[in-house]
Amino acid sequence: MQISHRLVNDRRGKSGSADGKTLTDFHTSLLEVLPHAAAYIARDGSILVSNKHMATECAALAIAEVPSNLKNLLSEASWKRCEVVLSAAFSGVPAQASGAIYLQSGTVFCHHMICTSFISLTGERKAVLVQFDMEDVGQDEINGRTDPGEHGARDTAAGLEKGLLEHFPDDVLIFDGTETDERKASMLLEMTGCNYDLHRLIEMLASIGEDLPQTFYIPQNGETDPSGRTDRRMCEVRMFPLPKVRNGAESQPVSMAIIRRNVDCPQEVAENRRLAYQDPLTGLENRRAFKKALNRELVRLSADTETGLAVFYIDLDEFKKVNDLGGHDAGDDMLLRVAACLRLTLGEFGTVARIGGDEFAGMVPAANEEAALEIAEKILDGFDRIRLEVGERVFTIGGSVGVAFIDSGVSLKDGDAASILGLADRACLRGKRYGGQSVQIHSVQSGDCQTRRNDLKELPEPGSFRASELALYAMPIMCLKNDKICGSEVLLRLQGDRAGGISSRAWISAAERSGFIAQVDAWALDKVLDAAERNPVRSLLTMNVSAESARDPNFRDGLYHRLSVNPLLASRLCLEIVEKDFLREPATVESFFNFVSEFGCQTAIDDFAGHWPVLSRLTGLRVEWLKLESSLTQQVVDEPAKAAILNGLVRAAHELGIKVIAKHVETAEEAQLLQEFNIEAAQGFYFGKPEPWTS
Pairing of strands 625-628, 602-608: parallel
Please, what is the end-to-end C-alpha distance for the chain in angstroms? Answer: 105
**pTM, to two decimals:** 0.56
Supply the pLDDT for residue 374.
92
Phi and psi at residue 248, in whole multiples of 5°? Answer: 70, -125
Task: Determine the topology of domain 279-451 in CATH.
Answer: Alpha-Beta Plaits (3.30.70)
Question: Are the CB atoms for 74 and 67 separated by under 8 Å?
Answer: no
Pairing of strands 439-443, 359-366: unpaired
205 Cβ contact list (under 8 Å, min separation 6): 181, 184, 185
Cα radius of gyration (the chain):
39
Supply the pLDDT for residue 623.
93
Length of the chain: 695
Helix (H) or strand (E) holding 651: helix 640-655
Cα separation, 351 vs 367, in Å, equals 16
Show me where the domains of the chain are located: 3-147, 181-271, 279-451, 469-692
Supply the pLDDT for residue 149.
41
Phi and psi at residue 60, in whole multiples of 5°? Answer: -65, -25
Phi and psi at residue 36, in whole multiples of 5°? Answer: -115, 170
Of 643, 691, 647, 689, nearest in space to 665 by CA: 689
Task: Determine the topology of domain 469-692 in CATH.
Answer: TIM Barrel (3.20.20)
Q: Which residues make beta-bridge pairs with 573?
A: 541
For the chain (695 residues), the mean pLDDT of every run of 10, in chain order, is 34 35 61 83 88 88 88 87 81 74 87 76 71 67 42 43 52 81 88 84 84 83 51 79 54 72 72 71 90 88 81 91 89 94 91 92 92 92 90 89 87 78 88 78 79 52 66 91 90 73 69 78 87 77 91 89 82 91 89 91 90 78 91 83 88 92 91 92 92 76
Quickly count: other Cβ atoms within 10 Å of residue 389's Cβ: 13
Helix (H) or strand (E) holding 59: helix 52-60
Of 345, 411, 407, nearest in space to 380 by CA: 345
What 3-state class would DSSP assign to 36? coil
245 Cβ contact list (under 8 Å, min separation 6): 153, 155, 156, 157, 176, 251, 252, 254
Supply the pLDDT for residue 341.
94
Distance of CA 42 to the CA centre of its chain: 36
649 Cβ contact list (under 8 Å, min separation 6): 610, 628, 632
The CA angle 60-62-67, to the nearest 5 degrees, is: 100
Supply the pLDDT for residue 324.
86
Question: Are the CB atoms for 218 and 235 separated by under 8 Å?
Answer: yes
Task: Determine the topology of domain 3-147 in CATH.
Answer: Beta-Lactamase (3.30.450)
Supply the pLDDT for residue 616.
79
Of 18, 256, 283, 53, nearest in space to 126 by CA: 18
Question: Are the CB atoms for 506 and 435 separated by under 8 Å?
Answer: yes
Number of H helices, E strands in the chain: 25, 26
